Amino acid sequence: MSVDTIQDLFEHGLEDIYHAEHELLDALDELESNTEREEIAEAFAEHREETQGHIDRLEAVFDMFGEPPEKEECEGIEGLIEEYEEFASMNPSQEVLDYHNMAAAEKTEHYEIAAYGNLIPLADQIGMGEAADLLEENLREEQSALDELKELTETYEMDAIPAE
Ligand SMILES: [Fe+2]
Ligand SMILES: [Fe+2]
């Protein structure tokens, strides 16, 4: 595939985030079941549902192009997931794991926010205003998921974790 035009750039980014969202669907499932504190586990479950909606909107964007949805391997998100798995396999205490789960999820939200933030002006540039609107809706939900996770990490009671 040649990537010389704004449309190529856009399509490449779209396929990348489409793959990422699928990976995150499974990752959020795992985060939910690996988390003991209920409000944190619930945040993962809620965002997993939103993530399914992100995939649906991306499919609508592919449809606007008259193209079937395709995935381009998203090594960025795969790397974050791998990093997460490695930490989880080190047998952390449940309290430490709960905290780390939020931190790991925050990193993925930053990735998604950057991806959507880059795609929206490209969509506008090629006259795909409706696609840009759908991507904007995804971006807003990523941003509010990040805000919620930040709030949860900031208010996390660390009493159960020894300082050193
Ligand atoms: Fe998403
Ligand atoms: Fe997300």
The band of 13, judged by pLDDT with boundaries at 50, 70 and 90, is: very high
- Looking at this protein, which amino acid is placed at residue 13? G
Q: Could you tell me the pTM of the whole model?
A: 0.95
Whether 162 is in a domain gets the answer: no
How far, in Å, is the centroid of ligand 2 from the Cα of 146? Answer: 8
Whether 159 is in a domain gets the answer: no
Q: Are 85 and 23 in contact (CB under 8 A)?
A: no
How far, in Å, is the centroid of ligand 2 from the Cα of 164? Answer: 32
Mark the residues whose beta carbon lies below 5 A from ion ligand 1: 21, 51, 54, 112
pLDDT tens per residue, range 81-104: 999 999 999 999 999 999 999 999
Q: Domain of 117: which CATH number?
A: 1.20.1260.10
Its domain, for residue 73, covers 6-154
pLDDT tens per residue, range 96-145: 999 999 999 999 999 999 999 999 999 999 999 999 999 999 999 999 99
For residue 1, pLDDT over 90 is answered with: no
Query: According to the model, what pLDDT value does residue 127 have?
Result: 97
Whether 161 is in a domain gets the answer: no
Whether 160 is in a domain gets the answer: no
Whether 164 is in a domain gets the answer: no
Whether 163 is in a domain gets the answer: no
Domain count for the chain, please give it: 1
